[in-house]
Amino acid sequence: MTSSAPTETLSAAETHRYSRHLLLPEIGTAGQLKLKAAKVLVVGCGGLGCPVLQYLAAAGVGTLGLLDFDTVDESNLQRQVLYATADVGQPKALAAAARLGAQNPFIHLVPHQFALTTANALDLLAGYDLVVDCSDNFATRYLVNDACVVLGKPLVYGAIFKFDGQVSVFNHQQGPTYRCLYPEPPAPGEAPSCAEIGVLGVLPGLVGTLQATEVLKLLTGVGEVLSGRLLVIDALGMRFQTLRFRAVPAEQQRTTLETDYAAFCGEAPPTAPPAPEISAAELRAWQASGRPLQLLDVREPHEHAQRHIGGRLVPLGQLAGALAELPADMPTVVHCASGVRSQRAARLLLEHGFHEVYSLRNGLADC
């Protein structure tokens, strides 16, 4: 992604601030002016979005869009380094914009405090030159990819899983897209989020920094970007591997948006009502009373082996296939590590006719 340098100039203060860029012949004043003129949308202001935003703001990208409808939670602070304890409860997009504005007063920050949907994706992305996917769910990844394909926008992708990460560039100069690499989403439960299984705190910083690097290369036209290549990071072994992949034939490319991305990815829509919850204290009282109870642990076997509170182990990914083995007329309490997987499992049971189902609030954290 290259363009001729804009006629706008750098002020004396900007020239001093970006002097280390200006010293690089590959970037220089022309490249810095391209950064100043660029408009980049970052989808997600969480673990990946924080380092992406910090480095793009520091580099002088002129307009940064911050898309996130969530608020800062204390559990975010282990890895989402833009935020402080005082930000807990604040909208992420606003808290991040305030911090970035203090970091670099020469850029324009545009918070977008809403969820990305098929109804607003094309209008929002049309106002930006490039999109960075820092989302944490497959429905958003496919939606962002498809909107970028429809609009002809390059997309810088990043993803994390426990100790592993991925980075690539999609839709660059008619290159491969996310669907070329992943034509179909994983089955529900096969790729749990970090809220369910955890993540090494520094991993988003590593992956996000690599994403920011690809953005700067795309905007300035230097180097070779990761189009058609997937960079795979193993943080435990500190190994980096590059896998090549090709674009699918043009006639097989998707040129419209899905009707329902949550349904396409097998995810419960955000508007689905949560399952009833029960506290750890209420569960203990129930067990002490002797009232019949079916207790289900939907974590993975290695988690169960480390610690459990009894009941039957049925990992979330296997629950749909085990429904016939479970009594639907017995009151059921489902638990996991934090309450995320148990909510999904409880809703699944309720959808299949189980009469009285509860999710253990906060999972084992309160037990």
Q: How large is the angle between the packed helices 203-220 and 49-59, nearest 10 degrees?
A: 40
Do β-strands 164-170 and 229-234 pair in parallel, antiparallel, or remain unpaired? antiparallel
Identify the CA nearest to 124 among candidates 135, 136, 133, 116.
116
Q: Choose the catalytic residue: 50, 148, 194, 265.
A: 194
Identify the CA nearest to 230 among candidates 219, 214, 241.
241
Q: Which residues pair with 110 in a beta bridge?
A: 65
Q: Are 50 and 70 in contact (CB under 8 A)?
A: no
Query: H or E stretch including 297?
Result: strand 294-297
Identify the CA nearest to 363 among candidates 302, 303, 322.
303
Q: How large is the angle between the packed helices 203-220 and 28-37, nearest 10 degrees?
A: 110
Coil, strand, or helix at residue 36? helix
Q: Choose the catalytic residue: 134, 180, 265, 336.
A: 336
Question: 194 an active-site residue?
Answer: yes
Which positions are catalytic?
194, 336
